[in-house]
Amino acid sequence: MKSEPERGLALAIRQYGGLVKRVIITILPTADSRDVEECIADVFFKFYQSIGRFDAASGSLKNYLCGIARHVALDKARKTGRLGLQPLTGAELGLTADISEAVSRREQAELVQETVLALPPPDKEIFVLRYYFGQKISEIAAKLQLNEKAVENRLFRGRKKLKDALQKRGVSL
Q: Which of residues 11-70 bind other proteins (CB under 8 A)?
A: 13-14, 17-19, 21-23, 25-26, 29, 37-38, 40-42, 44-45, 48, 50, 52-53, 55-60, 62-63, 66-67, 70
- Identity of the residue, 54 or 152, whose beta carbon is nearer to other proteins in the bound complex: 54
Amino acid letter, residue 39? C
Rounded to whole angstroms, what are the CA distances from 46 to 56, 71, 86?
Answer: 17, 10, 23
- Identity of the residue, 102 or 150, whose beta carbon is nearer to other proteins in the bound complex: 102
What is the phi/psi pair of residue 104, to 5°? -75, 170
8 counts as binding other proteins under rule CB under 8 A = no
Q: CA–CA separation, 63 vs 56, rounded Å? A: 10
- In the region spanning residues 90 to 119, those forming contacts with other proteins, defined by CB under 8 A, are 90, 93, 98-110, 112-114, 116-117
Q: How near is the Cβ of 149 to other proteins at its closest, in Å?
A: 19
Q: How near is the Cβ of 57 to other proteins at its closest, in Å?
A: 3
Q: CA–CA separation, 60 vs 18, rounded Å? A: 16
Out of 3, 81, 87, 173, name the contact with other proteins by CB under 8 A: 87
Out of 35, 128, 136, 167, name the contact with other proteins by CB under 8 A: 128
Out of 31, 68, 72, 162, name the contact with other proteins by CB under 8 A: 162
Q: Is 72 helix (H, G, I), strand (E, B) or coil?
A: helix
Q: Are the beta carbons of 77 and 27 closer than 8 angstroms?
A: yes
Q: CA–CA separation, 62 vs 8, rounded Å? A: 15
Bond preceding residue 122 cis, omega within 30 of 0: yes
Can you give the C-alpha Rg of the chain in angstroms?
18
Site string for other proteins, 139-158 (x = CB under 8 A): -----x--------------
